[in-house]
């Protein structure tokens, strides 16, 4: 399908291949989210002031593997 073939002449939707692939695999819930419900993005660091994750890390948390989540958590200690 090309952009011109999209229904109702809507622009083609860009998709993140990883998110699409993530939808087909089981969601890993073995690593709890580091969210502490203080959700504000600091413009200077582009990360959450509560959990210190970046917007990409927050968005992708549900589709990350346990190893990817643990890697993010280890990186949070240094932020």
At residue 16's C-alpha, the angle toward residues 33 and 31, to 5°, is 15
The tens place of each residue's pLDDT in the chain, 79 residues long, gives 455 554 555 555 555 555 555 455 678 999 999 999 999 999 999 999 999 999 999 999 999 999 999 999 999 999 8
Helix (H), strand (E) at residue 41? strand 41-42
The pTM (predicted TM-score) of the whole model is: 0.65
Long-range (24+ apart) CB contacts under 8 A made by 14-18 are 18/60, 18/63
Residue 57 CA to residue 23 CA, distance in Å, equals 16
């Amino acid at each position: 399908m090309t952009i011109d073939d999209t229904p109702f002449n809507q622009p083609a939707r860009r998709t993140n291949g990883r998110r699409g692939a993530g939808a087909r695999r089981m969601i890993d819930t073995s690593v709890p989210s580091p969210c502490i419900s203080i959700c504000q993005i600091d413009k200077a660091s582009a990360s959450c002031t509560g959990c210190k994750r970046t917007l990409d890390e927050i968005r992708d948390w549900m589709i990350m593997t346990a190893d990817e989540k643990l890697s993010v958590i280890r990186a949070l200690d240094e932020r």
